[in-house]
């Protein structure tokens, strides 16, 4: 099963792709990105039959001028009824290959698209309005392309009709933008004067600019090389899920995910990182298909193992005897910040890379760069919105990753602040081992129990607040019973590097043992609030105070003593 985001009948489903390339279209707001994409679709005859006429008729009926950008909206609306996708993704084909276009409406979308493995951009158009000239986002997007390692770039100087197709106006922009891009490691393959609405130099050459003898936008695209085939690279599959077969008492597990790169065969030895656990592949399962012998980059798949080793979401499946990923907790990174609140050193965020999510903080901030002016600031303690920074991230638990120079797909990450994407970046290298006192503490499970649920809950909340106030990332979980189920959730959070405060009324000694068996006894500490009862032997260290705030203080003092 390979994901095909347009397979719902309306948008033309391309034939089995001989070759595909992801193209991202970037540039300042209103400079004509969507118009150019609409043109590319129309002029390569990649639109569904009648679509163009339908939109023209609709515009005429509603007395609106026709816009090529409407085509995209129309396609998006149709698709939205079928499947949910997070960005505008459309297909078109040239005689050379098939393209998947990512039309990035804003910074966050742009970053998401650039960083999610499924839509790894190999080429980019940077669109500039000839009349407005270079704006902040023209520069920022150029900077991001350089940082993310997108090397095949064409600059389209758009709306040439608005400057009377003037060669000098075009050349002024070329000079200025080329200098900026050189400073951020982007060497465009071409600068093309175009008009998105008129169609000049998009697919066909115009008569309006006889002074221009270079390639059209499409010709530049077709001249790009597909990057090294992902199927030949080392095998990487971020583990999305581990499913149990439920039928007939079958004890097997399926390890599921999408193959980022490389190829996996039945019988191969797989190594899960960061755990380093290894075993062989028994079968490769495919959704609605017969079992397969091998699976390659781009496919969503699942495989079963010869031996049951511990595998969890967020790990990366690799093949032994191939280049290993790095594993570690300290990363030298370059990142781009979009958050409304500044990125602060020492504050906890969530880092997402592949399927892994882990608590992370910016431990060292080496320099901060304004992505539009390229001004550099040193000795800062924060990164403001739209700034770029180099520094060191420290993770609460190890992850598997690659360095940007070796392998872009598994070196790009995003940072979440309060559940929202607030930044992203690339890993340049491991950042050396921390000294013992810098090493992140092993995440722990703190269980708060009492006779009454309300007492547990109040104390657990007070403890969570106390811990967070001391910059210890902690999450609150509650249960009314059923400890076994919670052990799995707590394990998951602890793997992600988070401390967990569990509110669990009437916890017995055997429940505590069960949690210790799941997480390791050194990681579980249970506290019992208030008086004893006849419910059996309660688990945990006795806490004398029953007032939540003072109980939390007592617990915290106890933890600090350890």
Nearest approach in angstroms of CB 117 to ligand GTP is: 24
325: tokens are 């990923």
Residue 293 makes CB contacts below 8 A (sequence gap 6+) with 265, 266, 284
Determine the residue with CB nearest Mg ion.
34
Count of residues that interact with ligand GTP, criterion CB under 6 A: 19
User: Quick one: DSSP state of residue 13?
Assistant: P
What are the residues facing 371 on neighbouring strands?
Answer: none
Closest residue by Cα to residue 120 from 411, 386, 416: 411
User: Quick one: DSSP state of residue 103?
Assistant: E
Count of residues that interact with Mg ion, criterion CB under 5 A: 2
What are the residues facing 200 on neighbouring strands?
Answer: 195, 204
Choice from 59, 108, 118, 162 touching ligand GTP (CB under 6 A): 162
Q: Which residue stretch of 29-37, 336-344, 346-354, 523-531 sits at the interface with ligand GTP (rule: CB under 6 A)? A: 29-37
Largest CA distance in the chain: 94
Asked if residue 407 lies in contact with residue 425, where contact means CB atoms within 8 angstroms, the answer is no
Q: Which residue stretch of 33-41, 373-381, 434-442, 476-484 sits at the interface with ligand GTP (rule: CB under 6 A)? A: 33-41
Report the C-alpha gap between 220 and 192 in whole angstroms: 9
- Enumerate residues 95-114 that contact ligand GTP by CB under 6 A: 105
Report the C-alpha gap between 361 and 413 in whole angstroms: 13
Choice from 6, 11, 24, 35 touching ligand GTP (CB under 6 A): 35
Identify what 152 binds: ligand GTP, Mg ion, none; CB under 5 to 8 Å per kind: none
- Enumerate residues 43-72 that contact ligand GTP by CB under 6 A: 67, 69
Q: What are φ and ψ of residue 145, in 5° steps?
A: -60, -45
Report the C-alpha gap between 442 and 425 in whole angstroms: 26
Closest residue by Cα to residue 260 from 296, 286, 285, 294: 296
Identify what 504 binds: ligand GTP, Mg ion, none; CB under 5 to 8 Å per kind: none
Identify what 30 binds: Mg ion, ligand GTP, none; CB under 5 to 8 Å per kind: ligand GTP
Q: Which residue stretch of 157-165, 262-270, 458-466, 502-510 sits at the interface with ligand GTP (rule: CB under 6 A)? A: 157-165
Q: Which residue stretch of 154-162, 164-172, 273-281, 448-456 sits at the interface with ligand GTP (rule: CB under 6 A)? A: 154-162
The Cβ of residue 6 has, within 10 Å, a number of other Cβ atoms equal to: 20
**Counting contacts by CB under 5 A, is residue 216 touching Mg ion?**
no
**Counting contacts by CB under 6 A, is residue 161 touching ligand GTP?**
yes
Nearest approach in angstroms of CB 415 to ligand GTP is: 24
Report the C-alpha gap between 340 and 400 in whole angstroms: 29
**DSSP three-state, residue 431:** coil
Choice from 87, 158, 216, 334 touching ligand GTP (CB under 6 A): 158
Q: What are φ and ψ of residue 228, in 5° steps?
A: -40, 130
User: Quick one: DSSP state of residue 264?
Assistant: E
Ordered DSSP codes for 106-127? SHHHHHHHHHSGGG---EEEEE
User: Quick one: DSSP state of residue 393?
Assistant: E
Nearest approach in angstroms of CB 194 to ligand GTP is: 7
Nearer to ligand GTP by Cβ, of 220 and 515: the residue is 220
Beta-strand pair 499-503/474-478: parallel
Nearest approach in angstroms of CB 104 to Mg ion is: 8
Tell me which residue has tokens 């199927």: 231
N-to-C CA span, the chain: 51
Interaxial angle between packed helices 483-495 and 509-519, expressed in degrees from 0 to 180 and rounded to the nearest 10: 30
**Counting contacts by CB under 6 A, is residue 117 touching ligand GTP?**
no
Choice from 11, 138, 152, 197 touching ligand GTP (CB under 6 A): 197
**Counting contacts by CB under 6 A, is residue 139 touching ligand GTP?**
no
Report the C-alpha gap between 316 and 260 in whole angstroms: 10
**Counting contacts by CB under 6 A, is residue 29 touching ligand GTP?**
yes
Report the C-alpha gap between 354 and 118 in whole angstroms: 10
Identify what 29 binds: Mg ion, ligand GTP, none; CB under 5 to 8 Å per kind: ligand GTP
Asked if residue 50 lies in contact with residue 147, where contact means CB atoms within 8 angstroms, the answer is no
Nearer to Mg ion by Cβ, of 101 and 494: the residue is 101
Handedness of CA 260, 266, 267, 272 (dihedral sign): positive
Nearest approach in angstroms of CB 73 to ligand GTP is: 9
Q: Which residue stretch of 153-161, 392-400, 480-488, 508-516 sits at the interface with ligand GTP (rule: CB under 6 A)? A: 153-161
Choice from 159, 236, 506, 523 touching ligand GTP (CB under 6 A): 159
**Counting contacts by CB under 5 A, is residue 113 touching Mg ion?**
no
Report the C-alpha gap between 194 and 158 in whole angstroms: 5
Nearest approach in angstroms of CB 131 to ligand GTP is: 8
Identify what 193 binds: ligand GTP, Mg ion, none; CB under 5 to 8 Å per kind: none
Nearest approach in angstroms of CB 27 to ligand GTP is: 6
Q: Which residue stretch of 23-31, 350-358, 446-454, 491-499 sits at the interface with ligand GTP (rule: CB under 6 A)? A: 23-31
**DSSP three-state, residue 529:** strand
Nearer to Mg ion by Cβ, of 33 and 352: the residue is 33
- Enumerate residues 10-69 that contact Mg ion by CB under 5 A: 33-34
Q: Which residue stretch of 31-39, 117-125, 219-227, 551-559 sits at the interface with ligand GTP (rule: CB under 6 A)? A: 31-39
**Counting contacts by CB under 6 A, is residue 196 touching ligand GTP?**
yes
Binding site for Mg ion (CB under 5 A): 33-34
Chain residues that interact with ligand GTP, rule: CB under 6 A = 27, 29-35, 67, 69, 105, 158-159, 161-162, 195-198
């Amino acid at each position: 099963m390979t994901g095909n985001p347009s397979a719902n009948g309306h948008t033309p489903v391309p034939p089995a792709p001989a070759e595909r390339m992801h193209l991202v279209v970037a540039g300042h707001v209103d400079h004509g990105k969507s118009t150019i994409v609409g043109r590319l679709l129309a002029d390569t005859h990649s639109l569904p039959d009648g679509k163009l006429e339908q939109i023209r008729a609709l515009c005429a009926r509603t007395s609106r001028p026709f816009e090529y950008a409407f085509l995209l909206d129309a396609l998006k609306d149709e698709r939205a009824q079928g499947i949910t996708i997070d960005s505008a993704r459309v297909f078109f084909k040239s005689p050379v290959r098939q393209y998947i276009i990512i039309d990035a409406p804003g910074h966050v979308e742009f970053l998401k698209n650039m960083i999610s493995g499924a839509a790894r951009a190999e080429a980019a158009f940077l669109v500039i309005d000839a009349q407005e000239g270079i704006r902040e986002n023209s520069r920022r997007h150029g900077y991001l392309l350089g940082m993310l390692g997108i090397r095949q770039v064409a600059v389209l100087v758009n709306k040439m009709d608005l400057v009377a197709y003037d060669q000098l106006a075009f050349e002024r922009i070329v000079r200025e933008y080329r200098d900026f891009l050189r400073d951020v490691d982007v060497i465009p393959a071409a600068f093309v004067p175009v008009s998105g609405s008129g169609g000049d130099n998009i697919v066909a050459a115009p008569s309006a600019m006889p002074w221009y003898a270079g390639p059209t936008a499409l010709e530049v695209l077709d001249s790009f090389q597909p990057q090294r085939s992902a199927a030949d690279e080392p095998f990487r599959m971020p583990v999305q899920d581990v499913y149990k077969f439920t039928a007939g008492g079958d004890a097997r597990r399926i390890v599921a995910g999408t193959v980022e790169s490389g190829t996996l065969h039945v019988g191969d030895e797989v190594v899960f990182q960061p755990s380093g656990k290894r075993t062989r592949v028994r079968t490769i399962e495919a959704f609605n298909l017969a079992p397969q012998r091998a699976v390659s980059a781009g496919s969503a798949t699942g495989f079963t193992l010869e031996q049951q080793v511990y595998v969890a979401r967020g790990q990366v499946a690799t093949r032994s005897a191939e280049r290993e990923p790095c594993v570690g907790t300290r990363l030298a990174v370059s990142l781009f910040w979009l958050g409304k609140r500044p990125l602060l050193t020492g504050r906890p965020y969530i880092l997402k890379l592949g399927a892994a999510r882990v608590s992370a903080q910016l431990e060292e901030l080496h320099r901060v760069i304004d992505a539009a002016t390229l001004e550099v600031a040193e000795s800062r303690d924060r990164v403001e919105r739209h700034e770029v920074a180099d520094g060191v991230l420290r993770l609460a638990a190890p992850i598997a990753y690659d360095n940007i120079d070796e392998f872009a797909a598994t070196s790009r990450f995003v940072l979440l602040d309060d559940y929202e994407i607030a930044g992203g970046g690339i890993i340049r290298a491991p950042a050396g081992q921390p000294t013992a006192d810098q090493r992140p503490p092993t995440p722990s499970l703190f269980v708060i129990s009492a006779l009454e649920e309300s007492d547990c809950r109040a104390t657990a909340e007070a403890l969570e607040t106390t811990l967070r106030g001391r910059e210890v990332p902690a999450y609150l979980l509650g249960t009314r019973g059923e400890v076994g189920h919670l052990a799995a959730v707590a394990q998951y959070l602890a793997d992600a590097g988070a401390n967990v405060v569990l509110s669990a009324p009437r916890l017995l000694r055997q429940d505590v043992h069960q949690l210790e068996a799941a997480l390791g006894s050194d990681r579980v500490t249970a506290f019992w609030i208030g008086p004893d009862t006849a419910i059996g032997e309660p688990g945990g260290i006795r806490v004398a105070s029953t007032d939540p705030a003072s109980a939390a203080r007592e617990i915290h003092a106890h933890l600090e003593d350890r």
